[in-house]
Amino acid sequence: MTYSFSNLKKSKGSLDKLSKAIENLSEKNSGNDERFWYPETDKAGNGSAIIRFLPASAVDGEEGLPWVRTFSHGFQGPGGWLIENCLTTLNEKCPVCENNSVLWNSGLEANKEIVRKRKRKLTYISNILVISDPKNPDNEGKVFLFKFGKKIFDKITEAMNPEFEDETAINPFDFWEGANFKIKIRQVEGYRNYDRSEFDSPTALYDGDDDKLESLWKKEHSLKEFVNPSQFKSYDKIKERLNAVLGERGELPQREEDVIPESHKVKKTKSIEDIDDGSITLSFKEDSDSDLDYFKDLAEED
């Protein structure tokens, strides 16, 4: 059966389906891809914009989710840089994650520090409509892809699953019952901070005009390419690159007093949400224990 606009309207974005998808989360580099939108800031690092998250595209169909989640690795060793899509995005084994699990479970703090710099980086991608972009007003009214991190995804999750009884759950991706997202960016300790970003009150996009909404829906981009296996190198290829990058220092430090060589240290860069040049960024500000637990679990499976 062909997925039509009338099917989309009847489903109203399927809040239950999206909530379940979030619960089941186990937890391409965009380059100069003009399909992507990035919020800009002033010299002080402050900025604002208003966007609307959009439902799954007409191309991706009824079974598609309005976001994709990807993992990547980016770090430098004696043999150069490793910048690769992580195979755990496809629920497959990743040699970098396996190497991290061995390091982490060695119990040595020096090894754990290395892991913190090699851990996989989390990114979400969704279709959005730009409502207000003070820095680039030409973007307003256009559909883009938006790459964001855990902080913003947590706000989406909280909107769908409010903490208090007097709050009503909303589906941020719904045309009719969703809400605009007000992005508020501050510079905090050298990093972009999105803590003050928030959803507005629910309102129908374009006042619920079906013709306009259907036209908008058909302009959305497919998300499937970002989780297509063709975008990922094989386990053996990534392992080969990992070995080349680690070089002679690929062996684990054997003593607690071993220091981390300069070649293993990675200069802190912007937050994963601060991607404005298409490069792979390395996020330290949003690190959580979830990936570290993941490495521990990997070792216990062996």
Percent of the chain at pLDDT > 70 equals 74
Would you state the structure tokens that stand for residue 64, as one six-digit string?
């598609």
Contact 249, 263 (CB under 8 A): yes
The DSSP code for 287 is -
Q: Structure pTM?
A: 0.75
Q: What is the mean pLDDT of residues 95-113?
A: 94
Q: Average pLDDT in the 132-140 region?
A: 96
Give the contacts of 301 (CB within 8 A, at least 6 positions apart). none
Return the closest-CA partner of residue 120 out of 109, 104, 144: 104
Q: How far is CA 81 from the centre of its chain?
A: 21
Nearest CA-CA partner of 15 in 162, 145, 130, 151: 162
pLDDT tops 90 at residue 15: no
Euclidean distance between CA atoms 100 and 298, whole angstroms: 9
Handedness of CA 212, 168, 38, 144 (dihedral sign): negative
30-39: pLDDT as tens digits: 457 899 999 9
For 155-178, write each residue's pLDDT tens digit.
Answer: 999 999 998 888 899 999 999 999
Residue 148: pLDDT over 50:
yes
User: Measured in whole angstroms, how far is the alpha carbon of residue 225 from the centre of its chain?
Assistant: 15
Q: Decide if 172 contacts 159 (C-beta within 8 A).
A: yes
H or E element at residue 81? strand 80-85
> What CATH number is given to the structural domain containing 36?
3.90.198.10
Residue 113 to residues 105, 185, 228, 272, Cα–Cα distance (Å):
12, 29, 32, 19
Average pLDDT over residues 82-110: 95
**Model pLDDT for residues 205-226, shown as the tens digit of each residue:** 999 999 999 999 999 999 999 9
Q: Which are the contacts of 9, defined by CB distance < 8 A and separation ≥ 6?
A: 175, 176, 210
Q: Do 52 and 216 meet the contact criterion of CB atoms below 8 Å apart?
A: no
Cβ(194)–Cβ(273) under 8 Å?
yes
Predicted pLDDT of residue 260: 43
Q: Could you give the number of structural domains in the chain?
A: 1
Output Rg (C-alpha) for the chain, integer angstroms. Answer: 21
Tell me, what's the pLDDT at 172?
Answer: 96
In angstroms, rounded to a whole number, what is the distance separating the alpha carbons of residues 130 and 134?
11
Residue labelled with tokens 């100069």: 32
- pLDDT at residue number 223: 95
What count of other Cβ atoms lies within 10 Å of the Cβ of residue 88?
20
Q: How far is the C-alpha of 127 from the C-alpha of 111, rounded, in Å?
A: 39
**Host domain of residue 291:** 1-302
Distance of CA 248 to the CA centre of its chain: 33
The pLDDT of residue 11 is above 80? no
Q: Which residue has the higher pLDDT, 292 or 277?
A: 292
pLDDT band, residue 132 (cuts 50/70/90): very high
